[in-house]
Homo-oligomer: A and B are copies of this chain.
Amino acid sequence: MQSRLKIYNSLSKVKENFEAINPPHVGMYVCGPTVYSDVHLGNVRTFLSFDIIYRYLMHLGFKVRYVRNITDVGHLTDDSDDGEDKIGKKARLENLEPMEIVQKYTNGFRKVMQQFNILEPSIEPSATGHILEQISLIEKLLENGLAYETGGSVYFDVNKYNEKHNYGKLSGRIIEDLIAGFRDLDGQDEKRNKADFALWKKAVKGHIMKWPSPWGIGFPGWHLECSVMSTKYLGDTFDIHGGGMDLKFPHHECEIAQCVGANGKDPVKYWIHTNMLTVNGQKMSKSLNNSFLPEELFSGNHSLLDQPYSPMTVRFFMLQSHYSSTLDFSNDALKAAAKGYKKLINGLSICHDLKYTSSEDETPSEQQQSQVDQIIANCYHAMNDDFNTARTIAQLFNLLKKINSISTGQLSGGQLGKEHFDKLIITFKTFVQDILGLLEEKPVDFESFLHILLEVYAEAKNNRQYDKVDEIRTRLKALGIVVKDMKDKIGWAYEE
């Protein structure tokens, strides 16, 4: 019997059976990137984790509307509502219009997502695309007495909210600690309470990204966009909200407060948070010089890297641990991942070539059949256990052993029977390609192979084996390559 999908809910802090609010539909919102710098590997891990969740939910037959936003305004350099807009600051440093910064890093983000074969979400809304909706939400909060305007800015009144609701229920923070713990910073005095957070900020002189509002010219607070865009596209209450664990507080806590305060409803049924990356056991950070960009990984061009690692090697590597565990980058682990990845891909190619054969006198072995059934059930069981890709991969290697046995003739198709044979092949392919999203990475420099062939050609020519010379020439011509016999060497060109 197939097991049921369970999800660890960061809100309830227990693993719960997954029950979609409105099956077969599932609404999932994930906090996307703030597009002011190159995407780093920690981001990649987060989006890869939700890519797996998206793929697996679709595999289970759910119709998933997956919303992942682009933060292109309002995210300040300082979490306590001070500092500069991250994008505005970068625009100043790079001497570009803020929207050029947004475009540049959004393009970079999309490219990296593509390299890792991370699927596009169903909707990718941007904060600047929803200013009016954000203003409407602020108006609702003001109406409900949960926000106050002061000096052209609007703040959320955390104490007032906490009278009827529970601010801190996601992150476990205690409001009294929050109030005591906040640093005293310029501009904080506008707030009634140090735990309050900005819904709308007045634009100071020189601020570029700004819009008119009922409270004057300004820009929305960072937490607002996600409340607005998630509920606009998924409804007041939706199934899944995800993000990196660093977003739990204050960002996600504030999202809940804003939605509950405006709509009176808890916005999210299941909260999912992904864990961090470490490098050789240390937190990945720019100041420790142990953080690298995807491009550096692919080129191997970084002092901590022994060699280049391909996107699919890194994808496989990340899937070898559960999303809620920390994941440690090391050369040894990546080299092992490269081997594991190639094993699975070679397995796909065996699946592709393998034909079912059975001799007349064969009858299926119940033991073999039940072994295959058991491994397949284990694959699902692992994924159903909060999307445990690490255990799923181990089970796929068990499936692969069976496939290899058939390929080498140790096990015959007839011993499994057609139905089990097909199930074995299809399950393996589906898990590797569709659920884990692993693609075959082909060598792109066909020239290396061509050069070996041209050497064989030259040798045959020297040995006056003209039949062979002609054959290679003809075969290459069929591939659009013309061999060019030159004075001192053998060249080639594309056929014109």
CA distance A414 to B188 in the complex (A): 74
CA distance A186 to B494 in the complex (A): 60
CB-CB under 8 A from A476, the residues of chain B are: 452
Contact, CB under 8 Å: A65 / B100: yes
Query: In this complex, what residue of B is CB-closest to A110?
Result: B110
Q: Tell me the minimal C-beta distance from A284 to chain B in angstroms.
A: 28
A233 and B449 contact, Cβ closer than 8 Å, known pairs A136-B212, A494-B345: no
CA distance A128 to B229 in the complex (A): 13
CB-CB under 8 A from A342, the residues of chain B are: 493-496
CA distance A445 to B475 in the complex (A): 14
* Residue A14 is within 8 A (CB to CB) of chain B in the complex: no
A453 and B449 contact, Cβ closer than 8 Å, known pairs A123-B97, A129-B128: yes
CA distance A343 to B343 in the complex (A): 41
Contact, CB under 8 Å: A479 / B125: no
CA distance A126 to B102 in the complex (A): 13
- Of listed A124, A456, A480, A494, residue having the most chain B CB within 10 A: A494
Within 8 A of B (CB), among A449-496: 449-450, 452-453, 456, 472, 475-476, 479-481, 493-496
**What is the 8 Å Cβ interface bit string for chain A, positions 175-199, against chain B (1 contact, 0 not)?**
0000000000000000000000000
**What is the 8 Å Cβ interface bit string for chain A, positions 194-226, against chain B (1 contact, 0 not)?**
000000000000000001100000000000000
A479 and B449 contact, Cβ closer than 8 Å, known pairs A126-B129, A342-B495: yes
A442 and B452 contact, Cβ closer than 8 Å, known pairs A120-B107, A342-B495: no
Q: Tell me the minimal C-beta distance from A396 to chain B in angstroms.
A: 15
Contact, CB under 8 Å: B449 / A132: no
Within 8 A of B (CB), among A104-133: 107, 110, 120-126, 128-129, 131-132
CB-CB under 8 A from A453, the residues of chain B are: 449, 452-453, 456
* Residue A349 is within 8 A (CB to CB) of chain B in the complex: yes
Set B103, B346, B475: member contacting A124, Cβ < 8 A: B103
Q: This chain: how many copies in the complex?
A: 2
Query: In this complex, what residue of B is CB-closest to A133?
Result: B211
* Residue A390 is within 8 A (CB to CB) of chain B in the complex: no
CA distance A444 to B449 in the complex (A): 12
A129 and B129 contact, Cβ closer than 8 Å, known pairs A443-B479, A449-B449, A493-B349: yes
User: Which bucket holds chain A's interface residue count?
Assistant: 35 or more
Set B103, B123, B493: member contacting A103, Cβ < 8 A: B123
Contact, CB under 8 Å: A121 / B97: no
CA distance A475 to B453 in the complex (A): 11
CA distance A482 to B258 in the complex (A): 58
Q: Tell me the minimal C-beta distance from A51 to chain B in angstroms.
A: 15
Contact, CB under 8 Å: A65 / B472: no
* Residue A99 is within 8 A (CB to CB) of chain B in the complex: yes
CB-CB under 8 A from A211, the residues of chain B are: 132
* Residue A418 is within 8 A (CB to CB) of chain B in the complex: no
Query: In this complex, what residue of B is CB-closest to A95?
Result: B63
Q: Tell me the minimal C-beta distance from A239 to chain B in angstroms.
A: 16
* Residue A339 is within 8 A (CB to CB) of chain B in the complex: yes
Q: Tell me the minimal C-beta distance from A449 to chain B in angstroms.
A: 4
CA distance A492 to B345 in the complex (A): 12
Contact, CB under 8 Å: B233 / A97: yes
Q: Tell me the minimal C-beta distance from A24 to chain B in angstroms.
A: 13
CB-CB under 8 A from A125, the residues of chain B are: 99
Set B102, B132, B494: member contacting A131, Cβ < 8 A: B132
Contact, CB under 8 Å: A496 / B346: yes
* Residue A448 is within 8 A (CB to CB) of chain B in the complex: yes
A448 and B496 contact, Cβ closer than 8 Å, known pairs A99-B125, A129-B129, A132-B132: no
Pull 19 A–B residue pairs with CB atoms less than 8 Å apart, ordered by A. Answer: A97-B233, A99-B233, A100-B122, A110-B110, A129-B129, A131-B132, A132-B132, A132-B212, A342-B493, A342-B494, A342-B495, A345-B494, A346-B496, A445-B446, A446-B446, A449-B479, A452-B453, A452-B472, A452-B475
A-B residue pairs, 9 tightest by C-beta: A129-B129, A449-B449, A346-B493, A342-B494, A446-B446, A342-B496, A99-B123, A339-B496, A100-B122
Extra 19 A-B pairs, beta carbons < 8 Å, given A99-B233, A103-B121, A128-B129: A65-B97, A65-B100, A97-B123, A99-B123, A100-B123, A103-B123, A107-B120, A129-B129, A131-B132, A442-B444, A442-B446, A443-B479, A443-B481, A444-B446, A446-B446, A448-B479, A449-B450, A453-B456, A456-B456
